[in-house]
């Protein structure tokens, strides 16, 4: 090798730095902190970074993929738990607002709920969360209570900051009730009473031994503000005759005077379909109810009205006092299947069968349309009472006695407690519905009522259907009972969906009856 070649090689060595491999790079020493684990370690170190033990996630693809799937599943489970928790919280807040009269904000958290519960129990809660009993608040109370107008006052010079219960003797129930009724739960947080003319005497009475004993006794029994419950009394059903005339206005006025003296909030009045639309279809007469409602308005009482689509009979004699409309009864003579029918073919005229809810057998109208037309007429006729807030609620009749039930326990058919009653599904319209349901199920021979369910006064163990391990638990029994109950539910859905259109933005009431431990509960 000559001198020129040696010189060129030396120049190349000086121009190109020596190749350095990644494992030989020296990084500055950093203080050792907490080593990340799990999901954080993978994302912080990167896919190609060596982890503890000298292995990277890419060294074992199956193990890394399994860990990734487990993390994704855990994230989904966490989301479901959070959604479930939020749903429970939302329902709790809604219940506290609706039934407990808690003034919770729209986006309330648990701090708001705890503060509201503490105030409801008679405690005081400051904005910073400080919580204490009213007897020990001393200088904390900021709100003031004026005994004359129940308003806040900014003047503290002439007021004595005390607990309201300490000024009232424990045995003085009248004053205590009056004051507690006039105060809202919020006003009980901190109360300041305007003193009597002799402030010194009042201050002395506060610190007297008797008052201190009362405070000690009340320490264990904090006052709780109970939500107000309105009281309504039902008026007699026979004060309106079959021609929709008020029978005895003077006796009605006397009755309302007595009720007003009892401080009731209002009365319940039943509007009978058999009176309002008694003689001619779609001709509604409301004159008697208008007269009655005007008297109620004069007494400044509220009204809860019942849309009664059933007949009314005296409980003692069983005599029918208010029947279904006469034109409906005339149709029933020619087509008795519009009424509920038992296995022996006996008809029950208390109300119309669910089977004609969508059958145009009432002079071109269905059962649902007949109910809706009456409700719509009532809403139009008494629109002024709805606007004034006098009519505050409407009860929708859904069956015999206005309750959502079959007339299976009719005394006119000979039923006596504790008989099991009979199925009421043997009119031709419900039988058509049963045949259709059985055909859809693929068992046309199931289109029949049970033939071993006993009679009105039978006991369950005396029948082959209701006895232990009876037919009620067979495939047919389950099918039949499901259809029978679903027909009831469908009737309620149909009627209430139209009632919601007729009485929009009005509180509606329904009666549902079910059996529990051989007792009927409505």
Read out DSSP for 267-282?
A: EEEEEEHHHHTSSSTT
pLDDT recorded at residue 321: 87
Q: Whole-angstrom Cα distance, residue 372 to residue 502?
A: 7
The pLDDT score that the predictor gives to residue 65 is 79
pLDDT in the model for residue 98: 73
**Regions of the chain where pLDDT drops below 70:** 1-63, 101, 106, 135-225, 315-318, 514-522
pLDDT the model gives residue 191 = 36
Q: CA–CA distance from 265 to each of 162, 269, 394 (Å)?
A: 34, 14, 15
Q: pLDDT digit string (tens) for 454-473?
A: 999 999 999 999 999 999 99
pLDDT at 2: 53
As a whole number of angstroms, the distance between CA 58 and CA 78 comes to: 27
pTM assigned to the model = 0.58
CA distances to 14, 16, 20, 171, 257 from 10, in Å: 6, 10, 20, 114, 124
What pLDDT was estimated at residue 87?
Answer: 79
- Count of CA atoms in the C-beta half-sphere (13 A) of 209: 0
Q: How far is CA 297 from CA 19, 240, 267, 293, 302, in A?
A: 102, 17, 11, 6, 7
pLDDT score of 130: 86
pLDDT tens-place string over residues 234-279? 998 889 999 999 999 999 999 999 999 999 999 999 999 999 999 9
Contact 275, 242 (CB under 8 A): yes
Distance CA(179)–CA(150), nearest Å, equals 10
Helices (DSSP H) in 382-474: which residue ranges? 383-388, 428-441
At residue 109, the pLDDT reads 76
Which fold would CATH assign to domain 232-509? TIM Barrel (3.20.20)
pLDDT given at position 223: 54
What are the residue ranges spanned by the domains of the chain?
78-118, 232-509
């Amino acid at each position: 090798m000559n001198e020129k070649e040696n010189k060129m090689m030396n120049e190349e060595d000086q121009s190109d730095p020596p190749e350095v491999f990644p494992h030989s790079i020296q990084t500055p020493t950093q203080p050792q902190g907490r080593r990340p684990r799990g999901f954080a370690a993978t994302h912080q170190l990167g896919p190609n970074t060596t982890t503890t033990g000298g292995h990277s996630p890419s060294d074992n693809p199956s193990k890394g993929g399994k860990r990734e799937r487990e993390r994704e599943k855990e994230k989904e489970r966490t989301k479901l738990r959070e959604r479930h928790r939020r749903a429970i919280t939302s329902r709790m807040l809604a219940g506290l607002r609706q039934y407990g009269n808690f003034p919770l904000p729209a986006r309330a958290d648990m701090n708001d709920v705890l503060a509201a519960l503490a105030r409801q129990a008679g405690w005081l809660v400051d904005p910073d969360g400080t919580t204490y009993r009213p007897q020990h608040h001393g200088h904390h109370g900021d709100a003031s209570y004026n005994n004359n107008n129940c308003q806040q006052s900014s003047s503290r010079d002439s007021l004595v900051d005390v607990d309201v219960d300490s000024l009232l003797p424990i045995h003085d129930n009248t004053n205590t009730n009056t004051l507690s009724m006039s105060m809202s739960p919020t006003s009980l947080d901190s109360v300041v009473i305007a003193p009597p003319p002799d402030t010194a005497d009042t201050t002395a009475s506060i610190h007297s031994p008797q008052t201190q004993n009362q405070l000690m006794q009340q320490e264990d029994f904090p006052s709780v503000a109970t939500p107000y419950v309105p009281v309504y009394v039902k008026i007699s059903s026979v004060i309106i005759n079959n021609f929709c005339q008020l029978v005895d206005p003077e006796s009605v006025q006397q009755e309302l005077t007595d009720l007003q003296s009892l401080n009731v909030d209002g009365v319940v009045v039943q509007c009978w379909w058999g009176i309002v639309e008694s003689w001619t279809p779609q001709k509604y007469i409301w004159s008697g109810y208008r007269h009655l409602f005007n008297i109620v308005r004069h007494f400044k009482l509220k009204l809860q009205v019942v849309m009664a689509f059933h007949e009314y009979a005296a409980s003692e004699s069983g005599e029918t006092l208010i029947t279904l409309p006469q034109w409906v009864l005339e149709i029933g003579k020619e087509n008795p299947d519009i009424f509920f029918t038992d296995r022996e073919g006996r008809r029950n005229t208390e109300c119309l069968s669910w089977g004609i809810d969508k059958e145009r057998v009432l002079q071109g109208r269905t059962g649902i349309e007949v109910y809706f037309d009456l409700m719509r007429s009532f809403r139009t006729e008494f629109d002024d009472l709805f606007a004034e807030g006098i009519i505050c609620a409407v009860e929708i009749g859904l069956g015999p006695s206005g309750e959502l039930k079959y007339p299976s326990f009719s005394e006119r058919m000979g039923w006596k407690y504790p008989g099991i009653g009979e199925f009421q599904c043997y009119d031709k319209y419900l039988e058509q519905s049963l045949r259709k349901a059985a055909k859809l199920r693929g068992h046309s021979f199931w289109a029949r009522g049970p033939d071993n369910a006993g009679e009105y006064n039978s006991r369950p163990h005396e029948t082959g259907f209701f006895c232990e391990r009876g037919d009620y638990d067979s495939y047919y029994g389950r099918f039949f009972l499901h259809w029978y109950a679903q027909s009831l539910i469908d009737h309620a859905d149909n009627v209430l969906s139209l009632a919601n259109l007729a009485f929009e933005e009005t509180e509606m009431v329904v009666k549902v009856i079910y059996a529990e431990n051989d007792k009927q509960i409505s």
